[in-house]
Amino acid sequence: MLTAAYEGSAPPNGLVLVPTPIGNLGDITFRAIATLRAADLILCEDTRTTARLLAAHDVHAKVAPLHDHNEDARIPDLLDQLRQGKRIALVSDAGTPLVSDPGFRLVRAALEAGLNVAALPGPNAALTALTLSGLPPHPFLFLGFPPPRGAARRAAFASLRAAERAGLSATLIWYEAPHRAGETLADLLAMFGDRPAVLARELTKHFEQTVRLPLSDLAAKYAETAPRGEVCLLLGPAPQDADDALDLDATLRAALAGASLKQAVADVTAATGLPRKQVYARALALAAEAP
């Protein structure tokens, strides 16, 4: 039931981005429910997941899937419907649409066509984890999911570490699949050195847990046993003396484990800022030692 204070405020027109709970079904706003009830069409990732949410809130609007594979193809028809004055709501399976979820291309196309786009505020795992983490809340940098493959992931971390060496100082936030958390934490440690880190798990749910530890301890904790459920990983800003904290051999060993010698040298040179010649010589020595 909507409160008297809310009644009378009409849901936005056009395309409306509607956040949904990230675990706790109570985390949906009055305005989100009113917007979904008023929608002519609700776009969602998985119609079965969204059907459960809609049934719980007595929403009977038409539902259609929008995901990475059909988004481009659906845009012309959706823009036509918006031009005809239809109200279209976009939800994802959980949290805020577009944040590591589909919808960006549709929003861009609607804006370019001069159509009305509105976004409701609501649940989001990255911001919930950030505010709970005990790490400096700003500046922060949200990076979505790291690349799933080791070599690409280490290259991405090396670029970020190079940005830190050039002056970036921000709390870093990633989404990650639980079965990859252990290897990602090991790569973070190799590329960034030890610093405060947080793994936020199952936020807003029954088994919610926020583990705040030095990165080395966090990586050790999840080296063998994957965390259960959904996780966010956070890293505190670069410390002033971060260069000293990086162990060249450990960084190189981690890089060599999943990439060619050439790629590993490029990543570690970028991450550490050390002369390429020095990194290359050390990489050759370590590669020769390897069984």
Site residues, ligand SAM (CB under 6 A): 22-23, 92, 94-96, 99-101, 124-126, 175-177, 200-205, 230-232
| Tokens 């991405």 belong to residue | 156
Pick 22 or 264: Cβ nearer ligand SAM: 22
Query: Whose Cβ is closer to ligand SAM: residue 90's or residue 170's?
Result: 90
CB of 75 to ligand SAM, least distance (A): 20
- The CB-of-23 to ligand SAM minimum distance in angstroms stands at 4
Residue whose CB is less far from ligand SAM, 198 or 246: 198
CB of 286 to ligand SAM, least distance (A): 33
Using CB positions, name the residue nearest to ligand SAM.
95
Q: State which residue, 97 or 193, has the beta carbon closest to ligand SAM.
A: 97
Q: Provide the minimum distance between the beta carbon of 177 and ligand SAM in the complex, in angstroms, as a whole number.
A: 6
CB 101 → ligand SAM: shortest distance, Å? 4
**Nearer to ligand SAM among residue 91 and residue 246 (C-beta):** 91
